[in-house]
Structure 1
Amino acid sequence: MDASREKARNYIVEVTAGGRGGPYAIGIMNVEQALSLPDIGLLSYTHPDPKKAARGVVVDRSELARFAQH
């Protein structure tokens, strides 16, 4: 794995799951760990770019996987 892809997989994201009572936190982890969670469709992730995450930008699993490939 090249250095830029390795760096992208180590960015930190917050994972949340949607539910009847609203979203609830699953945890804070790196991108690789987040992508290893089961694909249940209810998960959302803060954007791996810290500036975008600070603005509240969230991504779905496919967007997170694309980010990890860069």
Structure 2
Amino acid sequence: MELKIVEVVAEVKDGVVPLGIMNAEQAMNLPSDVDVKISHPEDKPGQTDRFLDRNEFGQMHAHPASFVD
């Protein structure tokens, strides 16, 4: 069983800038002063335009480590 993989991006004036692809637990553990968006866990990272802010992402799943494929 693998942890769910997500894409992490930063919002800029003209869209988003990809920061990396990581597992959901790593994304949720990024420093809180880094303003990021996280790809929807049901979408393929790097191939989606559907992103959630950290709070929305955390509300969807109380325990990021439980994301599995």
Identity %: 36
Higher helix share: 1
> Which residue of structure 2 lines up, in the alignment, with residue 65 of structure 1?
58
Q: TM-score, normalised by structure 1?
A: 0.65
Higher strand share: 2
Task: Report the equivalent of 2:9.
Answer: 16
Q: Structure 2 unaligned runs (5+)? A: 64-69
> Unpaired segments of 5 or more residues in structure 1?
1-6
TM-score, normalised on structure 2?
0.65
Contact 1:31 1:68 in 2 (8 A): no
Aligned residues: 61
Structure 1 stretches (4+) deviating beyond 6 angstroms?
A: none
RCO greater where, 1 or 2, for CA within 8 Å and sep 6 or more?
Answer: 2
Rg: which structure is higher?
A: 1
